[in-house]
A and B are shown apart, each in its own frame.
Chain A
């Protein structure tokens, strides 16, 4: 083109011809694309073979071995400090004190199918293991048909938690896999818990689009979380035992996310237990996080 600089052409009057094998390459790739799409669509249309027998009851859940639970209680102080709370999800201050006269209540509402709840439970267990003892937890995984499929986690359903400092009220609303197109109901919130969800899991504390979301957590009637504390994708493709084994040293991105959010939950609990126990609440990462807790209603 006149006036525009162009690179010099190879000598010769005609542009060099493309070797035939190059044309064949494009044809082969085009055929491969068509074949891939056809094969994939055909596979999608072919119904999966029906299972030999549909169990009338779900298989018994697998209890979490003591060795795995021990990983939550043997997290090194250095691991807690390294994780800090810089990358944790801060709670929303909802402004009212816990109306109960007993121990402060940690209210957790989730569902086993929910991948965001699956992620949250890791941090909840790590944090609450600093104040008391879990027993009867079982292995679980989020729905294989939802986003972040089969995120490894634990189930609070059927488990217990004892602590001299606080009370855990956990409600697992629905199961992990649909039966007849619906997730089975596991537990139902009490009217008092339902009232707290209605009051806090929406505007003005959250935007309208996030209203009613799970996981929902309320600590001491003051600090509220709704939604995933961290990306469940960090847990993908790993077993509970493998992930738990990374907690004592805090090694890896998943452990860092779990511990950072556990520190954040710990700080909120310390704020409502009168900073008890001191050994937990006076650790530098927690003490700093307590100071940074929000204190204004949005």
Chain B
């Protein structure tokens, strides 16, 4: 895939993440917003989203997710504007650092869902897949972002 293709995919995924995180944030603050999700024995969004694990430092995880995707979107936008092979080192580092931080958080949340709550939330899982996909894109596209040394 070309660098432009990777960048488009990256932007699309961050927008998808923003939309899902935005929906989960709305759910938290507006009880009139319907929760479109199974309420079954294993997939149970309500139980996950209202558990103690759904808060980090007193702030809903959905809000943190919204903020994370907003920053990820800005980084993706800046990357897409950089010339092929000429992405600044700081931007590459920021992209990697951000997506690795997101991945670490995904691992923690997956552990909370499966190990502590015993339920999973379909919307949260969708977000986790998006974050992991962003990591794969960051890795796959990295060689195209740096200008190789020539003799």
Residues of A near any B CB (own CB < 8 A):
6-12, 15-19, 22-23, 25-26, 29, 32-33, 36-37, 39-41, 43-44, 115, 147-150, 228, 230-233, 236-237
Contact = CB atoms under 8 A, between A and B. Distances in A.
12 contacts: A9-B85, A9-B144, A15-B143, A18-B139, A18-B143, A33-B132, A36-B107, A40-B115, A44-B118, A147-B46, A147-B51, A237-B52
B150 A11 contact: yes
Contact of B2 (A6, A39, A147, A149): A6
Given A16-B148, A40-B110, A41-B114, A9 B132 contact: no
Contacts, number: 96
Interface of A is mostly: loop
Given A16-B148, A32-B107, A10 B114 contact: no
Contacts of B29: 231
A37 B110 contact: yes
Interface residues of B, number: 39
Nearest to A11: B150
Interface in B111-139: 111, 113-116, 118, 132, 135-136, 139
B142 A233 contact: no
Given A44-B118, A237-B52, A10 B85 contact: yes
A215 to B, nearest CB: 14
Contacts of B118: 44
Given A36-B107, A231-B31, 16 more contacts: A6-B4, A8-B84, A9-B144, A10-B85, A15-B144, A16-B146, A23-B139, A25-B139, A29-B135, A37-B110, A40-B116, A41-B114, A43-B115, A147-B47, A233-B28, A237-B55
